[in-house]
Structure 1
């Protein structure tokens, strides 16, 4: 497991590494004044995921943690079960492929025929029977303190990341109470959450007391994936879709959006919020971060 290297990211189990040479590239352009401008842009590269001998999907990704991405994608698509016996996860950098092997052979040709493209970025792929995976899902009514939300937002928004370095990327963070644990980034918010799902699967992490924080929109697929992961709370800087809100209410997911400074909106699970801090005591978001968010 790759651990955080930066001192100011020491609280994380996995933290962003904006200085990693494979993740960004310096590109020269010309600004509004006609002057040469040199900026960092995020790299994209394909990753083809196999389940045993079956090719499943090719995702555009920044290329870090390919094994977690493959495991999480297959899990969130219902192709892997949590109790599946996984005999190997093999990544080939030259071929840009990762193969997940299980003790029992399974085929998914019929599911591949039902594949559709969602409103999400990059791979954003969902199968029609993902909704079927929600049948019987009932998330634990885990309390959520507003002091934790404010502390998480302040910590995450100040963490050195590709999001702050180069923009054009989404971040998703697995948290426990007021501590961010695993911070994943990718060109698609679905990739980022799949990496976390893969890490949780491989490390057998209990989801019942966790919070998922994302910089992306709270769409139906984000809500579905969070619920299928067993995480009872999902929070974001961004807004909601109506279907995402509807699904969250059906499965008992606490859904928090538009978190900026001391402000947020809860559209599902308000009864589980413990308001243990006065919002007036929370600092407003600094202008630098607001500007960077708008550019991204």
Structure 2
């Protein structure tokens, strides 16, 4: 049985009118351990939906496997919190990677990731500019992301992201972890062989360097966020040819890199 993505709890809510006991909706927190060929790779704290997509997106974006077809079989044990994956086409550096984990800047340090100094060099630069957005498009798509964020409206405890192309929003995902939401998007695209040409990304949270690299590996030309990018993310976006747009709120926004794609 799949775990629930939300739960309810009786709380005391205070306001200027006083206090009252109410039922509140809370985002669930689920510990998922990825096991490859019987060995534990890592444990991430996530929202328990689209678990297969999450695992596939993580493994490919981190370079542990090259493509979805590298996985021979995959099985989720919801009760124990494991996803069992078998593959005979792992990155040759896999054994070394297991010894070089470190905490990323993900929310609360909920996952340990494999991030390399040469990641930017190994990530292909996006040279094409097939995506062009008008300023009003940036506001429109960000409003669309926020309006579709039902679990966030209920709990206030998740991040939201969406993949778009010129026809509109292709799919959206949410998770308590920013990285997880993006891996769910990427994993779904890989498993269903969706075209990633001419895509851009909507994001509710901070654009960190890890998020920027994941967007680059997907092939997104633009990243739109209601929050801020970090200095390293801006540097990487400049190097990799990605347009970064932040602070999309109150009828204004900032374009940090490659402004040619906006307006």
TM-score (norm 2): 0.89
* Alpha-carbon spacing, 1:259–1:23, altered in 2? closer, same or farther (3 Å): same
Deviation at 1:39, TM superposition (A): 1.0
Q: Residues 37-52 of structure 1: matches in 2 within 5 Å?
A: 37-52=22-37
Gaps of 5+ in 1: 1-19, 276-296
In the alignment, the residues of structure 1 paired with residue 138 and residue 167 of structure 2 have an alpha-carbon distance, to the nearest angstrom, of 7
The secondary structure found in structure 2 opposite 1:47 is strand
Q: Is the 8 A contact 2:60 2:68 kept in 1?
A: no
User: Which residue, out of 129, 137, 161, partners 1:141?
Assistant: 129
* Alpha-carbon spacing, 1:212–1:105, altered in 2? closer, same or farther (3 Å): closer
Give the match for residue 60 of structure 1: 45
* Alpha-carbon spacing, 1:105–1:239, altered in 2? closer, same or farther (3 Å): closer
* Alpha-carbon spacing, 1:124–1:260, altered in 2? closer, same or farther (3 Å): farther
Tell me, yes or no, if structure 1 residue 244 matches structure 2 residue 233. Answer: yes
Q: Is the 8 A contact 1:148 1:178 kept in 2?
A: no
* Alpha-carbon spacing, 1:130–1:50, altered in 2? closer, same or farther (3 Å): farther
Deviation at 1:222, TM superposition (A): 0.5
Give the alignment's Cα RMSD to 1 decimal: 2.1
Deviation at 1:78, TM superposition (A): 0.7
Q: Is the 8 A contact 1:208 1:232 kept in 2?
A: no
In the alignment, the residues of structure 1 paired with residue 41 and residue 185 of structure 2 have an alpha-carbon distance, to the nearest angstrom, of 19
Give the match for residue 27 of structure 1: 9
Deviation larger for 122-131 or 242-251: 122-131
Deviation at 1:92, TM superposition (A): 1.4
User: Which residue, out of 97, 102, 114, partners 1:127?
Assistant: 114
Deviation at 1:82, TM superposition (A): 2.6
Show CA shifts across 1:3-24 (max 9, x none). xxxxxxxxxxxxxxxxx98111
The secondary structure found in structure 1 opposite 2:57 is helix
Gaps of 5+ in 2: none
Deviation at 1:177, TM superposition (A): 2.2
TM-score (norm 1): 0.79
Show CA shifts across 1:254-285 (max 9, x none). 11111114311110110122x2xxxxxxxxxx
Deviation at 1:133, TM superposition (A): 5.9
| Count of aligned residue pairs for this structure pair | 255
Give the match for residue 197 of structure 1: 186
The secondary structure found in structure 1 opposite 2:197 is coil
Q: Is the 8 A contact 1:253 1:269 kept in 2?
A: yes
Give the match for residue 97 of structure 1: 82
In the alignment, the residues of structure 2 paired with residue 51 and residue 178 of structure 1 have an alpha-carbon distance, to the nearest angstrom, of 37
In the alignment, the residues of structure 1 paired with residue 113 and residue 88 of structure 2 have an alpha-carbon distance, to the nearest angstrom, of 25
Deviation at 1:199, TM superposition (A): 0.7
User: Which residue, out of 57, 62, 65, partners 1:77?
Assistant: 62
User: Which residue, out of 244, 260, 273, partners 2:249?
Assistant: 260
Give the match for residue 118 of structure 1: 104
User: Which residue, out of 223, 226, 235, partners 1:234?
Assistant: 223
In the alignment, the residues of structure 2 paired with residue 29 and residue 112 of structure 1 have an alpha-carbon distance, to the nearest angstrom, of 42
Tell me, yes or no, if structure 1 residue 163 matches structure 2 residue 152. Answer: yes
